[in-house]
Amino acid sequence: MKMQAMLKMVLLGAVLVAATQALASHVQSLRGDTDLTDEATAPEVQYYNKDGQPIDRNYVQQPPLIPHKIDGYRITIKHNKCLSCHSWKNYKSKNATKISQTHFESRDGFVLANVSARRYFCTQCHVPQTNAKPLVENEFKPVEVLRH
Amino acid sequence: MSTSKIKKFGLACLAVGAVIGIIFWGGFNWSMELTNNEEFCTSCHEMKDNVYQEYKTTIHYSNRSGVRATCPDCHVPKEWIHKVIRKIQASNELYHKVMGTIDTREKFEAHRLELAKHVWKTMKETDSRECRNCHKYDYMDYPSQGRRAIQQHTKGFDEGKTCIDCHKGIAHELPDMYEEDPSAVLLKH
């Protein structure tokens, strides 16, 4: 009985190892097929799009995309570079879009006097754009009400 | 002494004076230049561990064309008289080095706003002279700038603004900017 159980375990183990190996040969890591000991080819450098006009939204709740470069912009608790143009105080003089009122709400729905901490880190939702080609084919179309 | 001897003595004095003058003047300038490079600036840990590390991540340290602006390029005037005045002011920095005013990260952070304000004030007073050693308004090619840069530069210069009015914190981390612009800082309680 004991012998049989052990044999089963060993067989199961062998099957598992074989299965993982079979899977592993098909799964590609982000660095491609290159061995760990070899140097992988660096992916092509992507450049941020040049400063442009605001980009249309693709769906209703989409956080607006950043239509300009943000190289070197820092967002720390001491200063937020984005808000030096997009805050309600600065947007007019900087000719920028102002952040929406929703950014002043605490998670309990209270309206605060300044940007809420949960909305302070802009790049968690708003991202700049590069000229990168989509990795997979994509036929996404915006909803009818947002099409121009 | 005959007149020819006096003449000879006078000439000798002049020659010796000239040589001594060259040695002293050269030596003075040499030692001033010795204290006017990155290696000297970062020989104190106060500079090396704080502002220097921050500067190394910025465009003035590494950029596409490989032109680097080192510490004295921005912090020491190029013109002789302004340079000497700045060097004399630097004796105050020696005092604070001895007193250990900013000898830990915590102390440095506590003084960061005050230190930054000194630099901003000087830059404002000199119309950002050290920036303009390389960046001159008249030399700018606006069409090759970005959309926002064209707008802001033309507007700013029309209003008589100077570089530092907008370009703060470009080479080092900013201090707490609550005093400067509370709308761009995490909510204070």
* Interface residue ranges in chain A relative to chain B, Cβ cutoff 8 Å: 50-52, 68-69, 71-72, 74, 76-81, 83-84, 87-90, 94-95, 112-117, 120
**Which pLDDT value is given to residue A133?**
84
Give the gap in angstroms from C-alpha A60 to the nearest C-alpha of chain B.
Answer: 27
Q: Are residues B119 and B73 in the same domain?
A: yes
Q: What's the CA gap between A65 and A17, in Å, rounded? A: 46
For A105, phi and psi rounded to 5 degrees? -90, 135
pLDDT score of B110: 95
Counting the structural domains of chain B, the total is 2
Domains of chain A: total: 1
Task: Enter the tokens of residue A24.
Answer: 């592993």
The per-residue pLDDT for range B47-83, each reduced to its tens digit, is: 999 999 999 999 999 999 999 999 999 999 999 999 9
A14 in any annotated domain: no
Is there a domain that residue B22 lies in? yes
- Report the share of chain A in percent with pLDDT over 70: 94
The dihedral formed by the CA atoms of B26, B29, B32 and B37, expressed in degrees to the nearest 10:
-100
Q: What's the domain range around B5?
A: 1-34
- Range of A71's domain? 46-148
Could you tell me which of B172, B159, B151 has the C-alpha nearest to residue B108? Answer: B172
DSSP string of B67-108?
Answer: ----HHHHHS-SSHHHHHHHHHHTHHHHHHHHHTTT-SHHHH
Whether residues B52 and B86 share a domain: the answer is: yes
CB B34 within 8 A of CB B40: yes
Task: Check whether residue B14 and residue B51 sit in a common domain.
Answer: no
The answer as to whether A141 is a domain residue is: yes
Give how far Cα B172 sits from Cα of A20, A80, B6, B41, Å. Answer: 50, 14, 62, 15
Query: Quick check: is B176 in a domain?
Result: no
Q: What is the pLDDT of residue B16?
A: 94
Contacts made by residues B120-125, CB under 8 angstroms, sequence distance 24+: B120/B164, B120/B168, B123/B162, B123/B163, B123/B164, B124/B162, B124/B164, B124/B165
pLDDT at B146: 85
Which tens digit of pLDDT belongs to each residue from A79-119?
999 999 999 999 999 989 999 999 999 999 999 989 999 99
Answer yes or no: do B7 and B59 share one domain.
no
A7 alpha carbon, distance to own chain's centre:
48
With contact defined as beta carbons under 8 Å apart, do A129 and A56 qualify? no
Express each pLDDT in A1-52 by its tens digit: 577 887 888 888 777 777 777 666 667 777 777 888 888 888 788 888 888 8
- Is residue B21 in some structural domain? yes
Q: CA nearest B56 in A: which residue? A: A72
**Partner-chain contact B186 A74, CB within 8 Å:** no
Task: Please report whether residue A20 resides in a domain.
Answer: no
- How close is the nearest chain B Cα to the Cα of A144, in Å? 31
Q: What is the pLDDT of residue B1?
A: 60
List, for residues A54-68, the tens digit of each pLDDT value.
Answer: 999 999 899 999 999
Asked whether residue B185 is assigned to any structural domain, the reply reads no
pLDDT tens readout for residues B18-53: 999 999 999 998 988 999 999 999 999 999 999 999
Average pLDDT, chain A: 86
Q: Are residues B51 and B124 in the same domain?
A: yes
The set of long-range contacts for A54-63, using a CB threshold of 8 Å and a minimum separation of 24, is A54/A97, A55/A129, A56/A142, A56/A146, A56/A148, A57/A142, A57/A146, A58/A140, A58/A142, A58/A146, A59/A142, A59/A143, A59/A146, A60/A143, A60/A145, A60/A146, A63/A125, A63/A126
Look at residue B189 and tell me whether its pLDDT is greater than 60. no
CA dist A17 and A19 (Å) reads 5
Q: Which residues contact B55 (CB under 8 A, 6 or more apart)?
A: B61, B71, B171, B172
- Residue B4's pLDDT is 85
| One domain for residues B74 and B2 | no
pLDDT of amino acid A132 = 85
CA nearest A73 in B: which residue? B170
B91-139: pLDDT as tens digits: 999 999 999 999 999 999 999 999 999 999 999 999 999 999 999 989 9
CA B37 to chain centre: 11
Chain A's closest residue to B147, CA to CA, is A51
Predicted-complex ipTM score: 0.79
* Total residue count of chain B as it appears in this document: 189
Domain assignment present for residue B165? The answer is no
CATH code at position A109:
1.10.1130.10
- Residue B73 and residue B131 in one domain: yes
